[in-house]
Amino acid sequence: MRGLNRYFISAPFGNYLKYKDAISVTGTWTVNPRPGLLKQILKTLRYVRTDKGMVWRNQIGLRNKGLQHGMFNTSYDDVLSIAAINKNDWTIVQKMISPDRNIELNISCPNIGSHDDTTTFENFDLFPERMRNEWCIVKVPPTASNNLLDKIVDMGYNQIHASNTLYTPYGGLSGQILIEHTLRIIDYLKNKHKHIEIIAGGGVKTKTDAQNYIEAGADHISLGTVCFTPWKVSRILK
């Protein structure tokens, strides 16, 4: 049985929660600030019923203080989550950040008014060669096609985070509704691209949930909406 290597505190919770046994992921940051975070939280964050049970839904849309702020407020031991909105954003990001930063490239936010495949934006393929620290992660949507996963691997990326929230017209869904999607991605990558490190998230509320992903083939675990209840995070990390 594969052993668990690392826990990650997923963005945006990594902005606020720090644990000695977990890596905080801050952001998600964009090249330019996107104000209105509190307003969007109050307006769109809801606990809703689905056929998979109660899950969180949000339509916050990457509201943040901008990448410059994120760089100065993220430890080099933690990870900067970064998203592109415009076609040249990945080029700008490469000029802004040092190659020795840990990064997660979020190509999967469902709430920014565009569903473009941002791996097609200029210079996205240059990050694996340029970045020199431990983590250069791509965070994919739960609906990521096998072709998209192949494309990311072919570009030289070795770490994939499955997955972001599930798109609906009313906002992205998180929690246990992601489990079947994350398991599908794990299964494909471990059969087709055995060298890839997989960070699995979605519906992890207990140590057992985390172990289920590890037994399915994940290498690491990402903790997301369970971070609304930090005492549960502490139990998982023990």
pLDDT reading at 118 higher than 60: yes
Q: Which amino acid is at 105?
A: L
Q: How confident is the model at residue 1 (pLDDT cuts 50, 70, 90)?
A: very low
pLDDT reading at 159 higher than 50: yes
Q: Which helix (H) or strand (E) holds 123?
A: none
Name residues whose C-beta falls within 8 Å of residue 196's C-beta, 6 or more positions apart in sequence. Answer: 153, 158, 159, 160, 189, 190
Characterize 15-41 residue by residue with b for buried, 16 or more Cβ atoms within 10 angstroms of its Cβ, and e for exposed: beeebeebbbbbbbbbbeebeeeeebe
- The DSSP bridge partners found for residue 172 are 58
pLDDT tens-digit profile of 3-31?
Answer: 468 999 999 999 999 999 999 999 999 99
pLDDT reading at 205 higher than 90: yes
Give the tokens for residue 56.
């969180």
pLDDT reading at 209 higher than 80: yes
Q: Which helix (H) or strand (E) holds 237?
A: helix 230-237
Mean pLDDT of the region 80-102? 96
Q: Which pLDDT score, from 0 to 100, does residue 4 have? A: 60
Q: How confident is the model at residue 117 (pLDDT cuts 50, 70, 90)?
A: confident
Give the tokens for residue 124.
């996205």
Homologous superfamily of domain range 7-237: Aldolase class I (3.20.20.70)
pLDDT reading at 112 higher than 60: no
Domain ranges of the chain: 7-237
pLDDT tens-digit profile of 31-54?
Answer: 999 999 999 999 999 999 999 999
